[in-house]
Amino acid sequence: MPTPKKGPRLASSPAHERLMLANMATSLFQNGRITTTLPKAKRLRPLAERLITFAKRGDLHSRRRVMRVIRNKSVVHVLFTQIAEQMEQREGGYTRIVKIAPRVGDAAPAAIIELVTEPVAKKAVVKDAEAATKVADEAPVAEATEAPAEETAAAEAPAENAE
């Protein structure tokens, strides 16, 4: 029997927790965003990102593995055709969790978990790093031509002082 995770579960049993997470993942892929409690959103994120990674592969085995969790065929079709296509350039971080005001009634910490649909843009930091690399590659060549002259002058100076 596997050792259970430390701490309380989201539900009364592991089976109930699995079903709750599967239903939340189905709703997330169907609607693009859902509002839930913060602990549930944090538990859903790894599952949803793993399912999107399977969808990006797109083969039959991946589709069957996703169908084990998400039982709705139309949602699986949307996941494999539309969502996987949107996430093609992204190498991870497919979901975003945004904390919102506590839930009315029981004051549970609430959050919105949503799919990140913005296109991936190459950051300016990468361009700056590439430019710095080019400058660093050119600089040692210039210093290498000057360095022997300085070394020879420094080597001759102590020799002259010693005589």
Is residue 76 over pLDDT 90?
A: yes
Does any domain span residue 24?
A: yes
In the β-sheet with 95-99, what is the strand arrangement from edge to edge? 33-37, 110-115, 95-99
Does any domain span residue 1?
A: no
Instruction: Tell me the residue type at 111.
Output: A
Structure tokens that stand for 10 in this block: 């989201």
Confidence of residue 125 (pLDDT cuts 50, 70, 90): low
Full-model pTM: 0.70
Does any domain span residue 74?
A: yes
CA atoms within 13 A on the CB side of 46: 4
Does any domain span residue 6?
A: no
Q: What is the count of structural domains for the chain?
A: 1
Does any domain span residue 65?
A: yes
Does any domain span residue 132?
A: no
Confidence of residue 99 (pLDDT cuts 50, 70, 90): very high
Per-position b or e across 132-142, b if 16+ CB within 10 A of its CB:
eeeeeeeeeee
How far are the Cα atoms of 121, 142, 143 from residue 134, in angstroms, in the given order? 22, 13, 15
Is residue 5 over pLDDT 80?
A: no
Confidence of residue 80 (pLDDT cuts 50, 70, 90): very high
Is residue 63 over pLDDT 90?
A: yes
